[in-house]
C-alpha cells in the first residue's frame, strides 16, 4: 500500500509538473507570438494584425508581394510627442543665440529679439511668419555636414520640459512595435513628415531603425560647391523643394518612393491626403490615426471628441468624421495603448 | 597476368575518372566564385573585386557597415546603350503623333511639324530648345498612372534600330553582374540618371532588379487632385524640381538618399560631380567610368583617346585627364568586357 501511495504521488507530481511546463511553454509562446505587446486587445490592434495576416497570405486575393510592401508614418504626434511644441522648433529656438552671434545685427530685429529675451509667453505669441523667419535662419545657409553635426550635438543635451528626458526617448513604444512588426513582415517603413528631412535623417536610424533614405520630409534645395582646399560640399539653400504636408505628402511619396503605400499612419489634417491616397489603392489597405486623448500619460488635444483645441497638432472633427466615413481606424492612446513610453515602469 | 592487366586498367580508369571529376569540380567552383564572368581579367575587374573585399573585411580599416553600403549608377551609356539617341528621347519622339492628335493646332508648329514629317535628317538638326519643347509636351500634363501605362506599352513594341531588339535588352551584361555582385554584398544600388525618374522607374525593377524607390532622376513636380468620381490622382506638372545632371546628381543623391555613396559609376561629364563627391568621402571608394571604344560590338565615341566626337554621350579629354589624376578607373568596353549583351552568343 505504501509503495502504491508513493507511486501515486509520483504520478500526480509528474502530471502537475507536465501541466506547469505546458502552461509556461504556452505563455512563452503567446508572448513570442504577440508582436504588439504594448497594445491592449481591441479594434485598433486587431486591424493591424489582420491587415498583416491578409497581405502576407498567398492564398488571399489581398496578398501583396514583398517588394510592394510600403508603409508610411507621419512623425510628430504619430511616432513621438509633439507637445508642447514640435521638437524641431525647439531646436531652431535653441539655435537662435548662435545665429545672432554670427550675425550680431539680428539681436535688435524681431522675431530674434523676442527669442533672445527668453520670455516664453512672448515667444508663444510669435506668428507663423515669425517662426518661418527663425526656421530659415536656423535651418539654411550652412553646410549640410555642419548642420548634421549641430543636430546630433543638440540631441545629446536637449531635454523635454515635462519628462526631463532626451527628445528621442519620447517615441511611442506601441508605434515602435508596429514599425518592427511591419519590418519583420517585409515592409519598407518610411517616415513621411512635415518636419525637415535633413533634421529627421540625423537620428531616424538610431531611434526608429529607419535609414535616412527612408525619410521623406520637407526639403530645401542644396547647392554643390568647393572649399578653399578644393574639397566639394553641399550648402543648405533657403529654397523649398518640397513642403511635405497635406497634398505635399502624396507628392513627396511619389517623388521619393514612387509607389503607393499599403499602410499609412498619421494624427492630424496634414496627414489626410496621405491616408486618402493610400486608401484609394486596390486590395487591402490600412489607414490609422492616433488620437491624443490621454492627458494623464501624455497630452489630450482635439478639438475632435470635445478635446482641447491647441495650436500644435490638431485632430479636427472633420478629420474624425472622414475617418469614420472611410473606415480609417482611430487609435485611442488612452484605451488602445497599454504602455506609451519605453521608460515607463 | 591477364587478371593483373585488368586490375591495372581498372586502377588507371579510376585515377583518370577521379582527375576528371576533380577538375570539373574545380572549374564549377571557379565559375561559382567568379562574380563577374563577363569581365576579362584586368585592372578594371580587379578594382571592383578588391574594393568589395576591402569594405567587407571587418579587420580592414576600410570596412563599411552594411547600412552605409550605397552604390550609384548613371544609366544612359553606363548601364545600357545611349546611341544613336537616348531611349527616352526615342519614346518622346514616338509620342508626338498622339500629342498632336490631342492638340491638333500643334501639327503646324515647330518642332512638332518636323517630327511628324518623319524626316530623320531634319530631326537630327533639332536644337536643344526644340527637344525641350518635345520633352515638355510628351512628359508632362498627363496623369502619373497614364504616363506609366504609356511607357510600359511603348517598351513592348519599340525596337532599337541596330539590333532590332527591345531597348530593355540593350543593357550591358558586365554591369548587370556588378549590380548583382554589389547587391549580394549588402549594397543598396541606385540608378542616378539625367533621364526622367518617372520613366526609368517603370522598368528598373524588371530590367536591373532596382526598385523604383532606388531610382533618382530628373524629376518634375506633380499635383494632387481629384477626378469626377472623387478618386485622387497625381498629374505631371511642367515644373522641374531636380535636374539630375552634373552638380544636380550630387544634390539629387542628398535629396533622395541622404548618404554619400561608396561606389559610383558613370560615363560622361554629367557624372563628374557624382564621382568627385563619392571620392571625397573617407576610406575606400570606387569610382569608375565606362569608355565606349568598341565600334564593332557597340559604339565608339569620345572625343577622349581620339575617338569620334558625337552629340549623344561624350567622354571628354578633360574627364579622362581628371580620371587619371584622381585614380578613377576607366572601363574599356573593348578590352575589359568579354561579352557586352546577354543576347550575344
Across A291-305, B18-32, B241-255, least confident range: B18-32
Within 13 Å of residue B88, how many CA atoms lie on the same side as its CB? 26
Closest Cα in chain A, distance from residue B240 (Å): 10
Answer whether B77's CB lies under 8 Å from B269's CB: no
d(CA B4, CA A251): 85
**Residues 6+ positions from B294 with CB-CB distance below 8 Å:** B300, B332, B333, B334, B337, B340
Contact list in B for residue A251 (CB cut-off 8 A) is: 221-224, 234
Grid cell locating B251: 544634390
pLDDT of res. B312: 87
pLDDT above 80: residue B239: yes
| Burial (CB count within 10 angstroms: exposed 0-12, middle 13-18, buried 19+), residue A209 | middle
The answer to whether A251 contacts chain B (CB < 8 Å) is yes
Place of cell 511635405: A244
Greatest extent of chain B over all pairs of C-alpha atoms, in Å: 101
Contact list in B for residue A201 (CB cut-off 8 A) is: 258
Average pLDDT over residues B224-249: 96
Cα pseudo-dihedral A247, A253, A255, A259, rounded to 10: -130
Answer whether B216's CB lies under 8 Å from B191's CB: yes
Closest Cα in chain A, distance from residue B212 (Å): 6
pLDDT of res. B345: 75
Contact list in B for residue A147 (CB cut-off 8 A) is: none
Q: Please name the member of A201, A241, A255 whose beta carbon is closest to the beta carbon of B258.
A: A201
Per the prediction, chain B carries an average pLDDT of 93
| Burial (CB count within 10 angstroms: exposed 0-12, middle 13-18, buried 19+), residue B230 | exposed
| pLDDT tens string A254-265 | 999 999 999 999
pLDDT above 90: residue B272: yes
Closest Cα in chain B, distance from residue A241 (Å): 7
The band of B248, judged by pLDDT with boundaries at 50, 70 and 90, is very high
CA-closest candidate to residue A288, choices A275, A301, A298: A275
Across A70-84, B23-37, B284-298, least confident range: B23-37
Closest chain A residue to B67, measured at CA: A211
Angle between helices A272-279 and A317-326 (to 10 degrees): 10
Closest chain A residue to B224, measured at CA: A247
CA distance to B84, B200, B313, per residue, from B271 (Å): 20, 17, 11
Scanning B299-338 for CB atoms below 8 A from A yields none
CA distance to A154, A245, A257, B242, B344, per residue, from A218 (Å): 20, 8, 14, 15, 47
Answer whether B283's CB lies under 8 Å from B61's CB: yes
Closest Cα in chain A, distance from residue B215 (Å): 9
Answer whether B187's CB lies under 8 Å from B70's CB: yes
Place of cell 526608429: A208
pLDDT above 80: residue B12: no
Q: Provide, rounded to the nearest whole percent, the portion of chain A with pLDDT above 90.
A: 85
3-state SS assignment for residue A194: strand
Neighbours of A202 (CB within 10 A): 21
Per the prediction, chain A carries an average pLDDT of 93
The band of A20, judged by pLDDT with boundaries at 50, 70 and 90, is low
pLDDT of res. A29: 59
CA-closest candidate to residue B73, choices B243, B262, B223: B262
Closest Cα in chain B, distance from residue A12 (Å): 55
Contact: A251, B222; criterion CB under 8 Å: yes
Average pLDDT over residues B36-57: 98
pLDDT of res. B20: 66
Contact list in A for residue B223 (CB cut-off 8 A) is: 247, 251
pLDDT above 60: residue B30: no
Closest Cα in chain A, distance from residue B249 (Å): 10
HEC string of chain B equals CHHHHHHHHHHHHHHHHHHHHHHHHHHHHHHHHCCCCCECCCHHHHHHHHHHHHHHCCCCCCCCCHHHCEEEECCECCCECCCCCCHHHHHHHHHHHHHHHHCHHHHHCCCHHHHHHCCHHHHHCCCHHHHHHHHHHHHCCCEHHHHHHHHHHHHHHCCCCCCCCCHHHCECHHHHHHHHHHHHCCCEEEEEEEEEHHHHHCCHHHHHCCCHHHEEEEEEEEEEEECCCCCEEEEEEEEEEECCCCHHHHHHHHHHCCCCCCEEEECCHHHHHHHHHHHCCCCCCEEEEEECECCCCCCECCEHHHCCCCCCCCECHHHHHHHHHHCCEEEEHHHHECCCCCCCC
Closest chain B residue to A277, measured at CA: B232
d(CA A240, CA A326): 33
The answer to whether B280 contacts chain A (CB < 8 Å) is yes
Q: Please name the member of B67, B222, B232 whose beta carbon is closest to the beta carbon of A276.
A: B232
| pLDDT tens string A271-284 | 999 999 999 999 99
CA-closest candidate to residue A259, choices B245, B72, B187, B204: B204
Contact: A212, B258; criterion CB under 8 Å: yes
Contact list in B for residue A70 (CB cut-off 8 A) is: 213
Angle between helices B43-56 and B173-184 (to 10 degrees): 10
pLDDT of res. B311: 81
Contact list in B for residue A221 (CB cut-off 8 A) is: 251
CA-closest candidate to residue B71, choices B214, B196, B230, B167: B214
The band of B283, judged by pLDDT with boundaries at 50, 70 and 90, is very high
What is the count of residue pairs from A and B with beta carbons less than 8 Å apart?
Answer: 82
CA-closest candidate to residue A333, choices A304, A302, A289, A294: A294
Pairing mode of beta strands A215-226, A232-242 = antiparallel
Contact: B242, A241; criterion CB under 8 Å: yes
Angle at the Cα of B193 from the Cα atoms of B191 and B197, rounded to 5 degrees: 85
Q: Pick from B67, B144, B146, B224 the residue to mutate for testing the A interface (most A CBs within 10 Å).
A: B224
The answer to whether B232 contacts chain A (CB < 8 Å) is yes
Closest chain B residue to A235, measured at CA: B251
| pLDDT tens string B70-85 | 999 999 999 999 999 9
Across A134-143, B23-32, B129-138, least confident range: B23-32
Q: Please name the member of B201, B211, B254 whose beta carbon is closest to the beta carbon of A222.
A: B254
Closest chain B residue to A234, measured at CA: B251
Average pLDDT over residues B260-266: 98
pLDDT above 70: residue A296: yes
pLDDT of res. B25: 64
Contact: B280, A197; criterion CB under 8 Å: no
The band of B124, judged by pLDDT with boundaries at 50, 70 and 90, is confident
pLDDT of res. A21: 66
Closest chain A residue to B205, measured at CA: A67
pTM of the model: 0.91
The band of B155, judged by pLDDT with boundaries at 50, 70 and 90, is very high
Contact: A224, B247; criterion CB under 8 Å: yes
Taken as a whole, chain B contains a residue count of: 345
The answer to whether A198 contacts chain B (CB < 8 Å) is yes
| pLDDT tens string A45-59 | 999 999 999 999 999
| pLDDT tens string A309-322 | 988 889 999 999 99
Across A114-118, A180-184, A334-338, least confident range: A114-118
Contact: B201, A258; criterion CB under 8 Å: yes
Q: Provide, rounded to the nearest whole percent, the portion of chain B with pLDDT above 70.
A: 91
Answer whether B334's CB lies under 8 Å from B33's CB: no
| pLDDT tens string B290-344 | 999 999 999 999 999 999 998 888 999 999 999 999 999 999 999 999 999 999 9
Grid cell locating A282: 486596390
Closest chain A residue to B235, measured at CA: A251
Amino acid at each position: 500500500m505504501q509503495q502504491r501511495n508513493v507511486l501515486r504521488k509520483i504520478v500526480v507530481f509528474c502530471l502537475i509538473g507536465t501541466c506547469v511546463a505546458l502552461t509556461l511553454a504556452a505563455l512563452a509562446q503567446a508572448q513570442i507570438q504577440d508582436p504588439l505587446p504594448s497594445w491592449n486587445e481591441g479594434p485598433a490592434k486587431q486591424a493591424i494584425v489582420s491587415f498583416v495576416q491578409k497581405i502576407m497570405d498567398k492564398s488571399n486575393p489581398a496578398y501583396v508581394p514583398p517588394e510592394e510592401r510600403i508603409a508610411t508614418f507621419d512623425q510628430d504626434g504619430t511616432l513621438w510627442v509633439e507637445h508642447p511644441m514640435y521638437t524641431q522648433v525647439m531646436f531652431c529656438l535653441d539655435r537662435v543665440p548662435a545665429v545672432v552671434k554670427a550675425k550680431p545685427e539680428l539681436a535688435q530685429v524681431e522675431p530674434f529679439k523676442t527669442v533672445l529675451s527668453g520670455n516664453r509667453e512672448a515667444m508663444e505669441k510669435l506668428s507663423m511668419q515669425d517662426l518661418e523667419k527663425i526656421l530659415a535662419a536656423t535651418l539654411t545657409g550652412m553646410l549640410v555636414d555642419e548642420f548634421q553635426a549641430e543636430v546630433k550635438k543638440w540631441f545629446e543635451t536637449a531635454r523635454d520640459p515635462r519628462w526631463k528626458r532626451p527628445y528621442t526617448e519620447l517615441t511611442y513604444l506601441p508605434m515602435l512595435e508596429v514599425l518592427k512588426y511591419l519590418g519583420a513582415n517585409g515592409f519598407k517603413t518610411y517616415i513621411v513628415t512635415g518636419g525637415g528631412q535633413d533634421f529627421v535623417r540625423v537620428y531616424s536610424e538610431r531611434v526608429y531603425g529607419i535609414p535616412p533614405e527612408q525619410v521623406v520630409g520637407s526639403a530645401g534645395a542644396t547647392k554643390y560647391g568647393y572649399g578653399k582646399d578644393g574639397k566639394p560640399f553641399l550648402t543648405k539653400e533657403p529654397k523649398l523643394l518640397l513642403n511635405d504636408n497635406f497634398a505635399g505628402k502624396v507628392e513627396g511619396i511619389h517623388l521619393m518612393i514612387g509607389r503607393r503605400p499599403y499602410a499609412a499612419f498619421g494624427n492630424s489634417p496634414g496627414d489626410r491626403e496621405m491616408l486618402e491616397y493610400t486608401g484609394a489603392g486596390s486590395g487591402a489597405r490600412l489607414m490609422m490615426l492616433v488620437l491624443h486623448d490621454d492627458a494623464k500619460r501624455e497630452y489630450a488635444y482635439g478639438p475632435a471628441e470635445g478635446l482641447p483645441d491647441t495650436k500644435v497638432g490638431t485632430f479636427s472633427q472633420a478629420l474624425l468624421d472622414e475617418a469614420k466615413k472611410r473606415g480609417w481606424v482611430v487609435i485611442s492612446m488612452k484605451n488602445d495603448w497599454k504602455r506609451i513610453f519605453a521608460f515607463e515602469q
